[in-house]
């Protein structure tokens, strides 16, 4: 599981039929200090995340389980909106 920040969206008028109802969001992965970490990724939004919100992301087979069918062509999905992160240092 990763944390990230919503930085944009993808509009695709033509896409795989299984993705027709999916909202596609561009997310910048973050480290635990909220600094960018890695390259932005496109995720399916399962929770209604908004622009600049911090979100939880799952990838791979876990992302496919977010949708109704486990054989959907999904590699990353937003599964939560982060309210806060508390670390013991």
Longest dimension (CA), the chain: 48
In the chain, what are the domain boundaries?
Answer: 2-81
Q: Say what the pTM is.
A: 0.88
Tell me the pLDDT tens digit for each residue of 14-28: 888 888 888 999 999
Tell me the pLDDT tens digit for each residue of 22-80: 899 999 999 988 999 999 999 999 999 999 999 999 998 888 888 766 677 889 999 99
Cα–Cα distance measured from residue 42 to residue 27, given in angstroms and rounded to the nearest whole number? 6
Cα–Cα distance measured from residue 5 to residue 36, given in angstroms and rounded to the nearest whole number? 9
User: What are the start-end ranges of the E strands in the chain?
Assistant: 2-10, 24-30, 41-45, 54-59, 76-81
- Which CATH number fits the domain 2-81, given the four candidates 2.40.50.220, 3.30.1360.120, 3.40.50.700, 3.40.50.1860? 2.40.50.220
Question: DSSP string covering 30-43, please?
Answer: E-TTS-B-S--EEE
């Amino acid at each position: 599981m990763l944390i990230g920040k919503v930085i944009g969206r993808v509009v695709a008028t033509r896409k795989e039929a299984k993705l027709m109802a999916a909202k596609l969001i561009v997310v910048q992965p973050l480290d635990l200090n909220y600094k960018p970490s890695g390259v932005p990724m496109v995720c399916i939004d399962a929770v209604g995340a908004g622009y600049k919100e911090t979100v939880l992301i799952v990838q791979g087979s876990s992302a496919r389980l977010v949708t109704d069918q486990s054989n959907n062509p999904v590699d990353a999905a937003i599964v939560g909106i982060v309210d806060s992160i508390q670390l013991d240092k």
